[in-house]
Amino acid sequence: MPLPIKITFLGTSGSTPTKERSLPGVSIEYDGSVYLFDCGEGVQRQLMLYSINPSRIRCIFITHMHGDHVIGVAGLIRTLALNKRTEPLHIYVPEGEQEKLRPLVDFDRAYIPYRIVIVGVKSGRVASGRGFTVSAFRLRHSVPTYGYVFKEDGRHRFNKARCIKLGIKGSMFSDLERKGAIMVGKKKVRLEDVSDYAEGRKVAYITDTRPVSGAATAASGADIMIHEATYADSLKALAKERMHSTAFESAGVANKAKAKKLVIFHMSARYKKPDDLLKDARRAFRNTSVAYDGMVIII
């Protein structure tokens, strides 16, 4: 059975928090570890509120260096220090922006007993772990910005009927997975002869940006596409001016990507209820939901 991928929306507001919505942050839990995407002010409290152990954070992926997406790093790394963390923490930021993060690490000269590795991001694969990769792709905002794709590795699933027919049993299964081919009697059997290949699951995280074709390409076929929807379509001119997307435009990207599900977030604080945003998005992409703080999706 494949491992679950658990997505938790820690903060879903854009630019400023509201009484109902904290600043941007999304966690992905996979194989016992937590991967954090953006870290707005208050994210560490949101982690605790939604029962996500901060000590299990392996990496933080920052889309861009605007305060609402990154200021939470300062408090989080100090809490991890007080909790006696020893393993390194990797923080990914757009290439060339590394020194802008350093003041959040160094400003009070706190004792940090673990290593913080700040990594500059360019398009392409930026990180990997057992069973997954994280890739980055360029977005179009007022400062250098990248979206991310969390992609589970594909896997071979054995076909029971073909295995029985060719005499595959017992330890032969693990031998086939490890070697790719084994001898069964006098016949060479390859892994692809007795299995079907299944693509891994895919989560795309896209904020803050004008709609760009590269986002649809990177998120192609995503099981879950998370996309900013800062404004309703009635404020499209403002979205262009501030280099954001409307809900309708976000849905257009999901359509081009042929995503399975779109979840919009990063809403302007002017929207007390997201009804207009959801209505706009569903005009272009029916399978759309609006994220709320604490929302969980498991795929």
Asked whether the beta carbons of 58 and 28 are under 8 A apart, the reply is no
Domains of the chain, earliest start first: 6-154+199-298 (3.60.15.10), 157-196 (no CATH)
pLDDT in tens, 266-288: 999 999 999 999 999 999 999 99
Residue 85's nearest CA partner among 105, 55, 118 is 55
Does the annotation count 233 as an active-site position?
no
pTM metric for this prediction? 0.90
Give the active site residue among 68, 208, 280, 293. Answer: 68
Asked whether the beta carbons of 145 and 24 are under 8 A apart, the reply is no
Residue 181 pLDDT > 90: no
* Exposure on the CB side of residue 31, measured as CA atoms within 13 A: 10
pLDDT in tens, 96-132: 999 999 999 998 888 999 999 999 999 999 999 999 9
